[in-house]
Structure 1
């Protein structure tokens, strides 16, 4: 398959752009970069977006820029939040296809070539990714993920139902997508479950192809955002520091975002209605969480009102 193509200005433009948002990622960064450099598909370029790291992330990244001209690096002087750092990588790359990569995961040598081949074989698809296997801090295999989601079903309403109603890992987030199609989504929105939202938005535009090959190694370790911030509210601050002092309603927000995603999607009205009706299952699954979110948010607003009168 083709490598690098030329842009309009005559400068080399990759077929596949990769963006790696990092923050204090020194522990696993070299292994992640080695796995990308070992890909059997050469036509990629990687932009490492450093969110004001204070460890050796910058040193390691610059060493790899010297080793491989396809790798570039930018450092933000302040922490933009994980969401903006992700989106910076999308907006400052230009390949026909795009994928986010993280500095703690490992990609087997055929990961990107297989994803690209799958998209070319299935032009109706919105995304392609492979089976994920968890590894520990030492790189030992711990778990294979078989979630049996119908994200590749021809019926958009069934895709939407599974991806909103069922609790699942968001491995499609690391899949390969057409840049123009991804630009129609919210990218990494500045709130918890933004990865789920983007996957739903992709599924509303086409099936998500899962390749039954174990080519993606997902690292479980204490530094993951889900481990640092185990609650949705605490993750809001990591994703966007501007949430400090504000009161989020996480469950209500993601439900609202699902509705808006359907309304924005380029679907016939009939299919939009069918998708919206599928949210009945989401409501059945989440009604207790919705009540808890309303109660907690209301209580916090009441406290703010009392302080304002004092």
Structure 2
């Protein structure tokens, strides 16, 4: 049965960016439509897929009026596709949903309950259970981004040591107006990490106690299909034609940018820069190694 659609905007928008995702897409959509919190819209943005993705999307859009399908004529890159969904969203809350992941039926409702009750919280997410290609659970992790500190600089300081590896909270539920104040997903590797750092400067983050989010590990997932820094860069932005980026150096520049643009006091910005300076000292080996590799292999990387 298709839920009734109100004449007002839905409470939450779930945005699904996809490119050639026919293998897992239907299961991802089903897990969204099965949410007990039904006042939602689902927008699927197809990045010019060449497989059966479009047929799957059309089928669900015809079956359920909450589903809307839009398509780019060509692959515009992950950054464009993710950000387009935020532009199209009508809900006052927003969630990205990767085409190969799954949500427990209570995920969105549990996040919305926190956001409605706690005005200071701008992002709510659940611990992550990783699953394999068949859906078998592999491991569950708590990301530890439960930042309920009042001062933005304290939240930012606590975030920096954790800013490595999987950025699972990026798939939590945001306040849409706050997310739109950021630069969202940038056209460079690990821009989801910078986004979460930016969010810490704009409000509190809440981690639920129960694992309700299932992230799929498989051979075609982006981090495995694009192992090198240059491949990851072009996954975010196919138009990129430069050499492999100096990732850690770019992170520093982006951290400084979000601190400068954050709606916080000068004193808080100074505290954030102080915390970043400590982080730079912790990562000095990576920074030096990256610079050496860039110089050594520059002629090869230009090809």
Q: Aligned equivalents of 1:284 and 1:150: distance in 2?
A: 25
Could you tell me how far 1:55 is from its partner in structure 2? 1.1
- Root-mean-square deviation (CA, aligned residues, Å) is 2.0
Cα 1:142–1:282 change in 2 (3 A) is same
CA contact (8 A) 2:145 2:206 kept: no
| Correspondence list, 1:81-100, <5 A | 81-100=77-96
> How does the TM-score come out when normalised to structure 1?
0.91
The equivalent of 1:9 in structure 2 is: none
CA contact (8 A) 1:149 1:163 kept: yes
- Residues 1:193 and 2:190 are matched in the alignment: yes
Worse-superposed segment, 140-149 or 293-302: 293-302
Q: Aligned equivalents of 2:6 and 2:158: distance in 1?
A: 37
Q: Aligned equivalents of 1:147 and 1:126: distance in 2?
A: 17
Cα 1:304–1:81 change in 2 (3 A) is closer
Could you tell me how far 1:301 is from its partner in structure 2? 5.3
The equivalent of 1:280 in structure 2 is: 277
The equivalent of 1:291 in structure 2 is: 288
Secondary structure in 2 matching 1:13: coil
The equivalent of 1:19 in structure 2 is: 15
Can you give the 5+ residue segments of structure 2 that lack an aligned partner in the other structure? none
The equivalent of 2:259 in structure 1 is: 262
Worse-superposed segment, 78-87 or 151-160: 151-160
CA contact (8 A) 1:52 1:76 kept: yes
The equivalent of 1:217 in structure 2 is: 214
The equivalent of 1:183 in structure 2 is: 180
The equivalent of 2:121 in structure 1 is: 125
- Residues 1:56 and 2:39 are matched in the alignment: no
Cα 1:209–1:85 change in 2 (3 A) is same
Cα 1:181–1:4 change in 2 (3 A) is farther
Could you tell me how far 1:161 is from its partner in structure 2? 2.1
The equivalent of 1:80 in structure 2 is: 76
| Correspondence list, 1:296-307, <5 A | 296-299=293-296
Figure out how many residues of one structure are paired with residues of the other and give that number. Answer: 299
Q: Aligned equivalents of 2:207 and 2:44: distance in 1?
A: 26
Can you give the 5+ residue segments of structure 1 that lack an aligned partner in the other structure? 7-11
Q: Aligned equivalents of 2:75 and 2:153: distance in 1?
A: 38
Cα 1:66–1:163 change in 2 (3 A) is same
Q: Aligned equivalents of 1:177 and 1:154: distance in 2?
A: 18
- Residues 1:172 and 2:169 are matched in the alignment: yes
Could you tell me how far 1:304 is from its partner in structure 2? 9.4
> How does the TM-score come out when normalised to structure 2?
0.93
